[in-house]
Chains A and B, each alone.
Chain A
Amino acid sequence: MTRSSIRALAFARPVIQGLTVLNLVYALGLAALFVFSFFIEGWPTRPLGDFASTHPQLGNGLRAIVVIGFVAALIVHTILRRLLAMVDTVRDGDPFILENAERLTAIAWSVLALEVLRLGVMTIGSIVWEPGRLGEFSFTPWLAVLLLFVLSGVFTHGARLRADLEGTV
């Protein structure tokens, strides 16, 4: 292992733990926002003014986006937990195991789900406050999803080869 990768590994654990905490705070914030939206008088007209009055579905749209954001935060939480477990196996010196390949596959599906949720947010936006205009579509995240699936396949194969090699005398 190179010195830079050892240094990156040393940073990875606290960074992932920090991101996990931030993500939980984000999820709690979204949950609070969703709940309070039912109790704040005149929401969303009062905080958003004329914009809310000219867009009648704005309240429901924002609530739907908050719910999607909350679900996305839960998915991100599972990604971070799996990533942390993978980093721990690297620290322990045995990362090429089938469990990590399964974790990578699960992360790939999770990132795919996040992208689908992002499309959902874009669709809500185009319906509620920008009729007929869909937000900018980017191929990069989909490429990342594809790359993750390919990597998980390579990892699965590598882990099987490693298991075979371990039993070779």
Chain B
Amino acid sequence: MAIVVRLDELLHARRITLTELAARVDITLANLSILKTGKAKAIRFSTLEAICTALECQPGDLLARDPTLPAEE
């Protein structure tokens, strides 16, 4: 998948742990962990909105496209 989730960088910049974010956005730690490790296949707009609201960022800050990575089959 050429789409990269930059959740780890955003959390690090804002000094927030994944557990704290899970509590703020009401998303399970397991799901956030899937998102952070790049194992998610899709993200709901509601999840994106909740994370962006909690981290005070834009969707573009969270997601990026890395052309060096292989596209999903």
Binding site for B on A (CB under 8 A): 163-164, 166-169
Please report the number of residue pairs spanning A and B whose Cβ atoms sit closer than 8 angstroms. 24
A168-B42, A169-B31 provided; 13 other pairs, C-beta below 8 A? A163-B41, A167-B40, A167-B42, A168-B41, A168-B43, A168-B44, A169-B27, A169-B32, A169-B34, A169-B35, A169-B42, A169-B44, A169-B47
Q: How far is the CB of A161 from chain B (nearest CB, A)?
A: 11
Judge whether B39 is part of the interface by a CB distance below 8 angstroms.
yes
21 chain-A/chain-B pairs, Cβ below 8 angstroms: A163-B41, A164-B41, A164-B42, A166-B41, A167-B34, A167-B39, A167-B40, A167-B41, A167-B42, A168-B40, A168-B41, A168-B42, A168-B43, A169-B27, A169-B31, A169-B32, A169-B34, A169-B35, A169-B40, A169-B42, A169-B47
Across the interface, name the chain A residue whose C-beta is closest to B31: A169
A163 to B39, CA, bound (A): 12
